[in-house]
Amino acid sequence: MRAIFWKFCLVGLTGLILSGCCSNVTTDPREGGLAGGVCGTTTGAYDRRLAALGARAGSLQSANAGLQARLASTNREATSLAQEITAKRRQLAAVQSELDKLQRLASEKETLRAEITGLKAEARAREARIMQIEKGMRSAANDRIREDARRQAEGVPVDDLLKRIRDIRAEAQ
């Protein structure tokens, strides 16, 4: 039993000596070496540091899980937006096709409008020619009526005059 007592005393004394050395040594095991490790273990600083790092790791894991969920949600949203963009592009293509069709129709409309304007001008010119012809015919008819009236006034019957003109033409042939 005495041997056990001396062993406990030796361990206790070693711990006491080492804890006295802890006053100038860091408790960070990466920097303090053996003395820092023993000091950190005996003072409980190492356990506190482990608990703090464990809590921080848990917090980081929780944040990571939240970020993973957010990433998955963002990816779903991106997929949805990509599908919406594809649908909008299809709609845009349909609208562009319709716009092209309307532009062709507008061009055809202008061509037809120009053709109609040309046809109207041509119709007006024809109408003017017809009016001139009708005026000439009326004028010729009026001239003939006047000539017939003048000849009757002179006493030369129109029928005899026409007969004489026919005879002259027949002889000339």
Instruction: Per residue of the chain (173 residues), give pLDDT as tens.
Output: 666 766 655 555 565 555 555 555 565 666 655 556 666 666 766 778 788 889 999 999 999 999 999 999 999 999 999 999 999 999 999 999 999 999 999 999 999 999 999 989 998 988 888 888 777 677 766 777 777 666 666 665 666 667 777 788 777 76
Amino acid symbol at 130: I
Residue tagged 């293509």 (tokens): 93
Angle (nearest 5°) at CA 68 between 62 and 74: 140
Residue 100 CA to residue 167 CA, distance in Å, equals 76
Cβ 27 vs Cβ 36: under 8 Å: yes
Residue 133 CA to residue 127 CA, distance in Å, equals 10
pLDDT at 58: 92
What contacts 25, CB < 8 A, 6 or more positions away? 32, 35, 36, 39
pLDDT at 40: 61
pLDDT at 48: 82
pTM: 0.41
pLDDT at 169: 75
pLDDT at 151: 65
Angle (nearest 5°) at CA 83 between 78 and 89: 120
Residue 119 CA to residue 4 CA, distance in Å, equals 131
Domain residue ranges of the chain, discontinuous segments joined by +? 79-172
Strand runs (DSSP E) across 1-143, as ranges?
none
Q: Within 10 Å of residue 40's Cβ, how many Cβ atoms? A: 22
pLDDT at 85: 97
Cβ 148 vs Cβ 158: under 8 Å: yes
Helices first, then strands: H and E counts in the chain: 4, 0
